[in-house]
Amino acid sequence: MTDANTLMVEKYRNSFLKEVEANVEEGDWVRMCMQCGVCAGSCPLGPHWAHPPQEIFMMIRAGKREEVLTSDSMWMCTSCYNCIVRCPRELPITHIMHGLANYAHRLGIAPKMNPTRRFAKIFWDNIASSGRVNELTLSIKLYFMDGIASGIKKGLEMMGVGLGLVKTGRLNPLGLISHSGVKDTKGLHAMLKKAKEIEDKRKGLA
Amino acid sequence: MAKKEYSFYPGCSSERKASASNYLVSVETISKTLDFKLNEIPDWNCCGASIGYAEGGELPRHAMNARNIALSEKHNAGQDIVATCAACWLGTKETHERLSKSSQLLADTKEALKEAGLDLDYKGEVPIRHMVEVLIEDYGYEELGKPVKKPLEGIKIAGYVGCQTNRPFGVAGESFENPKYLDKLTETMGAEPVESYDQKVTCCGGALAFSEPEKSQVQIKKIIESAYDHGAEMIVTPCPVCQMNVEVYQDQINKKYNTKFKIPVTYYSQLMAVAYGSSAKEAGLNGNIVRATRLEEIASKK
């Protein structure tokens, strides 16, 4: 178990709901769910969720901390916002799912090999370093995340797509050596560092 | 009428040699016809997109968007912020809304912005708009129809609205389940909208097309199949991720499901550029992997 996780288990010993309300983005909405299941039926990747959103909400209220935070369910969210606009109680479900995924990841107990978790980390690191997406390095890092051999295999599978994009001027083959990020990277990095510090402090993680 | 000016947030995918560079080309072309000016926000950064939340968290993500808003309010004072990318628009608008509702989050964000020297520049007073809102609200369909020189007669087009220009904010006056603005724009350009297209708001998988390709391609297949089933020859969309996902995986889907998909997927702005009499290049049609031959033919006519 990670230190951050142990800290939170001890702090909120009796109430996972309180922990979610305090530490998860939009988590104070969780108690508003009335279990109708419209979110589950509206999700494009619904069949792939081990626990659909309304079940997650009930599990949070029932204190099933480990089952929720180690689940890969939230990582199936495509950010389509269908659940938000259809929820009769107007819960910001998409954001709560993002918040739970982020919190589990921050505590180090999210499913290690989940591809969306891994891709999301690669993506954020990509934009946080230069301020703008470098599509070439983003794709290469994604395809090679399981090592050279599988990277070459995935690279070959994606060759047609990549060449199509290069030919139509929509992918920079020189992206490894030339990429224009923001000019004020120093300010951007300092800003992100400060934002993370404040967020960790607010959540008692610092 | 005075020339309209906007503070422009192009976003990462619109950069030169990025995946939606042709979208930007077509938008610049119609901006000349419709006589509006896009003043790029100096030194803008990524919005965090739909996948940035997992590692980025809440405050760092809002700080990214707030930095763009602050830069805009500092350099392009008084101008509405306009994004062409659906995710950029959504991310910026979400931050703008969240900060207006929470004084704590606003104070924290400003503390972070101070590190980038911008804490005093964030006011949060300007509206955050998508390009289609500008077209519909500041011009209107009738006005947008006036410069049409080459109506796109006889082309049947499926208006694939997708998610992020539609939910959770959407375009004023449209429903989440059956938004009609793309159909209306298509019709205004003289083409024939496929109004019975029933997958117009289906998710293409978004960023999960990268991390969960099999699951996302099932979505993409539905979106394309329905377009064909309802007689469409082309798909039109307002979102760079929708455009890319629905266009570039057609070969892979064909291999896997034994289909024969080869349907062009263009931006609304490309239709407009062609209808306004611009060349194929000015409409960014050379950026389409599945060539939009019907549009190319019209563009090459004198």
Tens of pLDDT along B104-119? 999 999 999 999 999 9
pLDDT at site A51: 98
Identify whether residues A152 and A182 lie together within a single domain: yes
Q: Where are the alpha helices (DSSP H) in A12-133?
A: 16-23, 38-42, 53-61, 65-69, 82-86, 93-107, 115-130
Identify whether residues A16 and A82 lie together within a single domain: yes
pLDDT at site B2: 58
Tens of pLDDT along B66-85? 999 999 999 999 999 999 99
- Checking if the pLDDT of B131 tops 70, the result is yes
pLDDT average, residue stretch A130-150: 93
Q: Is residue A205 part of a domain?
A: no
Identify whether residues A105 and A134 lie together within a single domain: no
Q: Say if residues B29 and B291 touch (Cβ distance below 8 Å).
A: no
Q: Where are the alpha helices (DSSP H) in B44-163?
A: 53-56, 59-75, 86-101, 103-114, 131-133, 141-145
pLDDT average, residue stretch B223-249: 98
pLDDT at site B44: 98
* Residue A194 vs residues A28, A99, A123, B71: alpha-carbon distances, Å: 25, 20, 20, 18
Across the interface, whether the CB atoms of A187 and B115 are under 8 A apart is answered yes
Kindly report the average pLDDT of chain B as a whole number: 97
Across the interface, whether the CB atoms of A124 and B164 are under 8 A apart is answered no
Would strands B192-193 and B234-237 be described as parallel, antiparallel, or unpaired? unpaired
pLDDT at site A1: 58
pLDDT average, residue stretch B186-206: 98
- Checking if the pLDDT of B1 tops 60, the result is no
Q: Is residue A30 part of a domain?
A: yes
- The continuous run of DSSP H or E covering B192 comes out as strand B192-193
Identify whether residues A35 and A100 lie together within a single domain: yes
CB contacts under 8 A, B 137-166 vs A, are 163-164
Q: How confident is the model at residue B23 (pLDDT cuts 50, 70, 90)?
A: very high
Q: Is residue A81 part of a domain?
A: yes
Asked whether the ipTM of the predicted complex exceeds the cut of 0.90, the reply is yes
Identify whether residues A136 and A94 lie together within a single domain: no
Tens of pLDDT along A4-56? 999 999 999 879 999 999 999 999 999 999 999 999 999 999 999 999 999 99
pLDDT at site A174: 87
* Beta carbons within 10 angstroms of residue B138's beta carbon: 15
Q: Position A144: which residue type?
A: F
pLDDT at site A175: 84
B47 to chain A: closest CA residue: A132
Chain A contact for B270 (CB, 8 A cutoff): no
pLDDT at site A177: 80
- Return all residues near B87 (Cβ < 8 A) that are at least 6 apart: B11, B47, B49, B50, B164, B239, B240, B241
Q: Is residue A203 part of a domain?
A: no
Cβ contacts (< 8 Å) between A94 and chain B: which residues? 168
Identify whether residues A88 and A14 lie together within a single domain: yes
Percent of all residues in chain B with a pLDDT value above 90, rounded to a whole number = 98
Identify whether residues A146 and A54 lie together within a single domain: no
Across the interface, whether the CB atoms of B163 and A81 are under 8 A apart is answered yes
Q: How many domains is chain A partitioned into structurally?
A: 2
Q: Which of B46, B57, B168 is facing A102, going by the closest CB pair?
A: B57
Instruction: Name all domains of chain B by residue range, CATH numbers in brackets.
Output: 4-131 (1.20.1050.140), 149-300 (3.40.50.11810)
pLDDT at site B302: 83
Instruction: Report the length, in residues, of chain A.
Output: 206
Cβ contacts (< 8 Å) between A82 and chain B: which residues? 163, 167, 203
Across the interface, whether the CB atoms of A191 and B17 are under 8 A apart is answered no
Identify whether residues A50 and A64 lie together within a single domain: yes
Domain that holds residue A169: 115-197
Tens of pLDDT along B243-286? 999 999 999 999 999 999 999 999 999 999 999 999 999 999 99
Q: How confident is the model at residue A179 (pLDDT cuts 50, 70, 90)?
A: confident
Q: Which residue has the tokens 């040699």?
A: B17
Identify whether residues A35 and A80 lie together within a single domain: yes
Question: From CA B82, how far away is CA A181, in angstroms rounded?
Answer: 20
Instruction: Report the length, in residues, of chain B.
Output: 302
